Homo-oligomer: A and B are copies of this chain.
Amino acid sequence: MEEIDRAIVAALTVDGRLSYTDLAERVGLSVSAVHQRVRRLEQRGVISGYTARVSYEALELPLTAFVAIRPFDPSQPDDAPERLAHLAEIDSCYSVAGEDFYLLLVRVASPADLERLLQEIRTAANVTTRTTVVLSTPYENRPPGLSAPKPPDPPDLAS
């Protein structure tokens, strides 16, 4: 991806509601050109959408935790993500290499809610859990590092 597109994505990652006017003068193009590039970035899936950044403290969900899970019976089919998808407290679900099968990021209102959630996870997916409580979050969901352009492709020898 080229430099201007990287700059556009970087800017929209910091402020997803930037106007095309502002965006245009930041990257040094006309409004129309920027508008077109953004549309292409959206079509190609580089930008998959826009969302509001929320404060979980303000939303009364001050307790964050990681929950590592592994099947109680490893011979059973592994469909934990689908079985857990209905639990709104689960923010993210990662399939991981290592001792555990999945790593969940969960957000709840209180230790009591965490306890309830863990019980639901265990029964819904038939798994054991190992939970790591988050004490604080120095930073989270930072914009991706877009500064490093890609080295040029080697010359095409097929001609």
Contact = CB atoms under 8 A, between A and B. Distances in A.
Interface of A: 1, 9, 12-17, 42-56, 58-61, 64, 66, 81-82, 85, 88-98, 100, 102-103, 107, 132-147, 150, 152, 155, 157, 159
Given A97-B135, A150-B60, A12 B51 contact: yes
Given A9-B54, A43-B155, A54-B13, A94 B144 contact: no
Contacts of A52: 9, 12-13, 16, 47, 49-50
Contact of A43 (B16, B44, B96, B159): B159
Contact of A50 (B51, B55, B92, B150): B51
A89 B137 contact: no
A57 to B, nearest CB: 8
B95 A42 contact: no
A46 B90 CA distance: 19
Contacts of A102: 138
Contacts of A107: 144-145
Contacts of A49: 15-16, 52-53, 152
Given A53-B49, A60-B150, A139-B93, A132 B103 contact: yes
